[in-house]
Amino acid sequence: MTDQKTKRQSSRRGAAKKTTAAPAPSKAEQEKVEAAKEAEAKQQQADDKPVDPAVVEGSTEVQGAQTPEAGEGEESDGADKGETQPEASQDDQAKDQQSEDKAEDKARFTMPEGLSAQAEGAVATVATYAEKMAKGRPMSALEGSQQQLLLYRAIQRILTLDGKELYASLNSVLAIINENRDSAFHEKRLYRFIDQVKLSGQDRKCFERLLNLFITVCDPATREQALKQTDLELVASTLRNGEKEQKLIAFFGK
């Protein structure tokens, strides 16, 4: 009997040991656990945050997108707002087209075949004048007056030529003048150094009238009408050379 009682007591003590709950954690331990969980949550948020494609603090390198070039921001802003760049006016477009056409015509100019060295040299002098005295080119009074003197002498040499060579050379000179009518042979630039050119009064008068004649009739499309309004014999008389006068009149009267 006693043995059975002892066994039952031992059994109860064993069951009590099994069912006894673990002691509750202290307040300090709970705070540590909460702090650890909070730190873990913050770390997780930091890991999940997307990378900002910007310059890393303290670094000169760029991660991700590159910075826009100067001026790109302004263009994109204007596009976003629906703004459009102002278009060139029709007058500006027409002027640009005329300049392009003249440049193309100038590029197509070639020296006529079969000319003598004298004729080629005279025509080349006119072409060089058109290039050096072009609009926008810096030019001193000394060099400008020298170029105009060379131009006058070239015209005089051409008028000593005969036959087809005379006509080919004069036609080439008129073509060069027409191509550069808005540049070297514009009125604002044509006479700018005339007072410094080393010519006698009579030669200067002849030079001025020849230039005025050539810029007036250089365009083939309007030449016939322009000649009707020109006193060709008066211009020719300033040459003071009967043979040259007849050649000039005959050329434009052909």
CA distance 176 to 48: 76
Q: What is the mean pLDDT of the chain?
A: 76
Give the DSSP per-residue string, 99-116. HHHHHHHHHH--PPTT--
Give the C-alpha separation, 240 to 217, whole Å: 22
Token output for 164: 């087809």
Give the domain ranges of the chain. 115-252
Kindly write down the DSSP assignment for every residue of 124-139, as one continuous string. Answer: HHHHHHHHHT-TT---
| Residue-wise burial string across 24-57, b where 16 or more C-beta atoms lie within 10 A, e elsewhere | eeeeeeeeeeeeeeeeeeeeeeeeeeeeeeeeee
Lowest mean pLDDT among 86-100, 109-123, 156-170, 195-209: 86-100
| Residues 167/251, Cβ–Cβ less than 8 Å | yes
pLDDT value at position 55?
39
pLDDT tens per residue across span 109-122: 688 888 999 999 99
The residue-averaged pLDDT of 19-24 equals 50
* Alpha carbons 102 and 99: distance in angstroms, whole number: 5
Q: Tell me the pLDDT tens digit for each residue of 213-230.
A: 999 999 999 999 999 999
pLDDT recorded at residue 38 = 74
